[in-house]
Structure 1
Amino acid sequence: MSQKIALVTGGNKGIGFAIVRALCKELQNGIVYLTSRNEERGKDAVEELKKEGLNPHFHQLDIDSSESIDRLRDFLKSTHGGLDILVNNAAIAFKQKDTTSFDVQAKVSIATNYTATLNVCHALFPLIRSHGRVCHVASMSGPHVYKKLSPKLQEAFKHAKTEDDVNKLMADFVASAEKGTLSEEGWVQNAYGTSKAGVITITRIQAAAMSADTSRQDILINCCCPGYVDTDMTSHKGTKTPDEGAITPVYCALLPENSATPNGKHLSNKSVVETW
């Protein structure tokens, strides 16, 4: 069996760290890259896992930096000739008590959680080999927001066919937040949930596009909600441990070859959640 190359974004702590740990345990004859924006924290995380008898590798990655993404792409291409598993975990969430104005929260959340994740896909998808697996870490906050959108916006999300369609929705949300017209235009004041609604929608579109690529076979692209996990992002109020939160992302990342399904779906607790 050829060596599989896996990569996890935002892997130095929380759910990402637990995903790296699980993949190191589960991948036979594989290499798992833990990536993080901060090099020192990332290398410390790798050393922590090595103390557990695991052997992750480190590569710096700031998903908000196109130069950082390109360096990673070039490294993977020259070192391994491709990539087999990509888990897009890196994301941010503003706390409820954060005093940052909502227009800034909207702009930053969409820029990192949606646009930067998409930029990683643009760079790394050409490297994904046949039988590859992609999992975007999303959230049930996406469907939660969707249910509160205006019927017009719900239809726009439901019938989005192209990346440009979703990009426009995300841009419209940011513009509406900047104008202070969210409610009038049918949006919800929830930047994190809206960004994840974008991720869930783009997952379906990416999966369809990848399936149409006859040069590669059996590449599945899904997204998932890890659950309410005890991490910095939830101010450690989550009910799941990070290792429990990693279960569904790792399930998506390790779907057996020629599974066919799920593909383009949003999963929770290893089961498909019907969204839109």
Structure 2
Amino acid sequence: MVTKVAIVTGSNKGIGFEIVKGLCSRFDGTVYLTARNEERGRQAVKKLEKLGLKPLFHILDVTSENSIQEFAKYISDHHSGIDILVNNAGVLDFDKPVTSFEDAKKLMNTNFYSLLTISKFLYPLLNNDARVINISSDWGLLSNIRKQHWLDTLIKEDLTVDEILQFVNDFLQAAKNGKNSYISFAGHYGDYKVSKVAMSALTFVQQYEFIKQGKNISINCVHPGFIKTDMTNGMGDFTPERGARAPLYLALDAPQTLKGTFVWHDCHQVNWDD
């Protein structure tokens, strides 16, 4: 019997942990809780086991190509493919509204560049009716960008991955040029905003590619709400459990025809480029 597989990156705490909990309760298959720290990951699994749930753990550092490649090999060796993939891993230094170039590059490695590596090694394992959910943010809406050139470029129907990379690199150059250049690009927390705008744009480009390839794979991005987590120093409007609502909707309940959209925390679609 073929067992379905769901994977949530960066899921030892916060929204990711709650998504794993929801999947374990409702998904008819194997759910992988992943984390870059093995001890914290296994502790999270034990918490869920105490609730009668049975996630599996696998170490996964999304900033490491080797780690992603090893995980992909493990999944390939043990399963027939991936049915649900939630790209949840992300970082934000809430105490630094304007960061250094080095910090911005580090954030981009986790929040955006990792998606390209995941695409390279995990996407080939996606089953034909798989669902990919990218955890974005209201800061991932295009209106957060202040440079007109990129406002015009990122809404193109024929947008390419290379152009998204140029967008990210242009921001990193602005960060290298200093505070004024940084803020003129995307305001405070510009590194996080740019990473999530890039994630959103990549979602739409990749959905178009899946359709061109004739694959019935859906990929959507979602704003889970302003969630009270360690990343936000406990500030926010919703609990992590509430934050998991829209991602779980996309993973389990949304029609498979919902493709290449931006979904709000209350599960309705919004125009990304308004």
What TM-score results when the alignment is normalised by the length of structure 1?
A: 0.92
Output the CA distance in 2 between the equivalents of 1:93 and 1:13: 15
Count of aligned residue pairs for this structure pair = 269
Check 1:203–1:41 CA distance in 2 against 1; reply closer, same or farther (3 A cut).
Answer: same
1:244 to 242, 245, 249: 242
CA deviation profile, 1:136-191 (whole Å, cap 9, x unmatched): 10000122x63441222211221261111111111111112112262697443411
Aligned to 1:58: 57
CA distance in 2, matches of 1:206, 1:223: 11
Query: CA distance change for structure 1 residues 78 and 164 in 2, over 3 Å: closer, same or farther?
Result: same
Distance 1:94 1:182, change over 3 A: same
Q: 1:44 to 1:207 in 2, by over 3 A?
A: same
How far apart, CA to CA, are the structure 2 residues paired with 1:27 and 1:148? 37
* 1:55 counterpart SS class: coil
Amino acid at match of 2:34: T
CA distance in 2, matches of 1:184, 1:27: 43
1:148-187 alignment runs, 5 A limit: 148-159=145-156, 161-180=159-178, 182=181, 186-187=185-186
Q: CA deviation at 1:118?
A: 2.1
Aligned to 1:106: 104
The equivalent residue for 1:221 is 219
| Aligned residues of 2:24 and 2:53 also touching (Cα < 8 A) | yes
> Distance in 1 between the 2:119 and 2:134 partners?
10
Unpaired runs of at least 5, structure 1: none
Cα distance in 2 for partners of 1:129, 1:109 equals 30
TM-score by length of 2: 0.92
Match in the other structure for 2:191:
191
CA–CA distance in structure 2, aligned partners of residues 184 and 48 of structure 1: 41
Write the mapping of 1:252-263 to structure 2, written as runs, cut at 5 A. 252-255=250-253, 259-261=256-258, 263=259
Structure 2 vs 1, CA of residues 118 and 255 (structure 1 numbering), >3 Å: closer, same or farther?
farther
1:84-163 aligned within 5 A: 84-97=83-96, 101-143=99-141, 146-159=143-156, 161-163=159-161
Structure 1 counterpart of 2:35: 36
Please tell me the root mean square deviation across aligned C-alpha atoms, in Å. 1.9
Per the alignment, in what secondary structure is the counterpart of residue 222 of structure 2?
A: strand
Whether contact under 8 Å (1:230, 1:236) holds in the other structure is: yes
Q: Distance in 2 between matches of 1:58 and 1:5?
A: 13
**Percent of aligned positions with the same letter in both sequences?**
35
1:204 equivalent in alignment to 2:204: yes
